[in-house]
Amino acid sequence: MADSYNGLPVPKDGQRITYKDGQIQVPDKPIIPFIEGDGTGRDIWKASARVFDAAVQKAYGGKRSVAWYEIFAGEKAKAKFNEWMPQDSIDAIREFRVAIKGPLTTPVGGGIRSLNVTLRQVLDLYSCIRPVKYYKGTPSPVKNPERMNIVIFRENTEDVYAGVEWEQGTPEAAKLIEFINREMLKGGKKQVRTDSGVGIKPISIFATKRLVRMAYANAGPGTNGSQFFITEVAYPSLDGNYTIFGQCDAPSIELVKRIARMPRNGNDRPNNPPKINKITIAGTGAAAPVHHAPPEFGKSVAEEVRSVLDSIYATHGHGAWKKKLMINDRIADSIFQQVVTRADEYTVLATPNLNGDYISDACAAQVGGLGIAPGANVGDGYAVFEATHGTAPKYADKDVINPGSVILSGVMMFRYLGWNEAADLIESGLERTIEKKTVTYDFERLMQGATKVSTSKFADAIIENMAAGVLTTA
């Protein structure tokens, strides 16, 4: 381990996170590099770090703490080292494995790669994970935002973001178009117009498998209810089939497929668990949506589900479905309307890169928007947690911006470290603060009777509201 990166000494009292047998090993005082970010990142990081430290202190009473270690990227790195992204910063993340960052300005022109893209490539952070969840009191444009509780696993290395593309009018674009028209589309009616820009959208079996495996690994029983559903949002192939799940070999997929092969009624399965995913029907592993309908209807659904499950018990694995995952597939246009109209039918979405980008923002917009949308780029043994929004430069250094995105990215980070007590405290502190209508400008303008507070005061309120401990209700 180097003694310093970017000329800053490594904290002497902290220890490295290590990786063994597919698991990270977290010491009691892990060294965690952070990039505060540009623009509003400065306000956000100050507020977030106070929330993180207060939660860890409250949860572990000094037994655990984070040895924060600043590394540089973006405008601060440019000013200090005349580089947008010093190699030392990348090396430090590689060394310490887990990092957190605020938003960074994307430098325009000059062939400068964005830090995110570089980190994804260098550390092979192949999954972008975006949990989207409703916190009580959050202003929303939809009637039932509480139905949203979805984790999106977005492939992070391929698709149209692979960067295999050529600008319209360049000799390279002309050459590729000429080749495609001459060799690949020879004799057909279809031709690529010669004044097009062109790109290649690769989606490999390799990248899809590992993304889906990670989604499976994180969709186990116990995380969000009694059953789990993976919805793969794929482009339909030319023959109208979906392209991806058939190629996956995660051990659980065969089990999942057995459930998925149960008789269908049109596009729906007769006991489609997403429709019965709220009120548990004791002993069956299923649930009924009685909160969506009159109680008598809910009761009759529950009875019907129980009778169907009883009738297939002997022929369908003696209740083994309780420990299995349900898999669905959806095409992209369908899932866009489904996450608005029936969000509670989905738990985990595994998606290609571009679709995941759109869908995660569309989901986030229903539960508070980008100001509180967290994210993480995760590979095998490395993870970088980050705000999903940009630097919002017009609000920089004004102490007004919503720090929620970085704070909830910290919640993800603590869960990744296995520090769930700290994560729970932050989530409950944030939810209570919003419920009490103490919010930053972006929420206040959408709420009746709310009190607008600064970034730093919002953090104070979260810390204060942690004091009551963890919420016990879902």
Provide the binding-site residues for ligand NAP, judged by CB under 6 A: 103-106, 370-371, 386-387, 389-393, 401-402, 405, 442
Structure tokens at 9: 């000494």
Instruction: Classify the C-alpha dihedral 443-448-453-459 as positive or negative.
Output: negative
Shortest separation between residue 404's beta carbon and ligand NAP, angstroms: 7
How near is the Cβ of 317 to ligand NAP at its closest, in Å? 44
Nearest approach, Cβ of residue 240 and ligand NAP (Å) = 35
C-beta atoms surrounding 193 within 10 Å: 9
How many CB atoms lie under 10 A from the CB of residue 451?
12
We find the least distance from the C-beta atom of residue 234 to ligand NAP, in angstroms, to be 26
Q: Which of 75/427 has CB closer to ligand NAP?
A: 75
Q: Which is nearer to ligand NAP, 305 or 407 (CB)?
A: 407
Structural contact between residues 462 and 448, judged by C-beta atoms closer than 8 angstroms: no
Question: How far is 219 from 217, CA to CA, in rounded Å?
Answer: 6
Closest contact distance (angstroms) between CB of 387 and ligand NAP is 6
CB of residue 244 to ligand NAP, shortest distance in Å = 27
> Which residue, 175 or 394, is less far from ligand NAP as judged by CB?
394
Closest alpha carbon to 155 in 133, 182, 135, 128: 128
The residue with tokens 């869908």 is: 359
Q: What burial class does residue 234 get, using C-beta atoms within 10 Å of its C-beta: 0-12 exposed, 13-18 middle, 19+ buried?
A: buried
The burial class, CB within 10 Å (0-12 / 13-18 / 19+), for 20 is exposed
For residues 16 and 99, the answer to whether their CB atoms sit within 8 Å is no
**Alpha carbon of 73 to those of 6, 95, 113: distances in Å?**
10, 16, 12
Instruction: Based on DSSP, count helices (H) and strands (E) in the chain, helices before strands.
Output: 14, 20
Based on CB atoms, which residue is closest to ligand NAP, 146 or 444? 444
In angstroms, what is the minimal distance from the CB of 108 to ligand NAP?
8
Beta bridge partner(s), residue 384: 99, 377
Residue 344 or residue 386: which is nearer to ligand NAP going by CB? Answer: 386
Closer by beta carbon to ligand NAP, 41 or else 298: 41
Residue nearest to ligand NAP (CB): 390
Min. distance of Cβ 362 from ligand NAP in angstroms? 15
How many CB atoms sit inside 10 A of residue 72's CB?
25
Measured from the CB atom, the residue of 30 and 375 that comes closer to ligand NAP is: 375
Report the residue number, 176 or 364, with the smaller CB distance to ligand NAP: 364
Query: Which residue, 156 or 277, is less far from ligand NAP as judged by CB?
Result: 156
The span from the CA of 243 to the CA of 241, in Å, is: 6
End-to-end CA, the chain = 43
Residue 392 CB, shortest distance to ligand NAP, in Å, is 4
Contact 324/256 with Cβ under 8 angstroms? yes
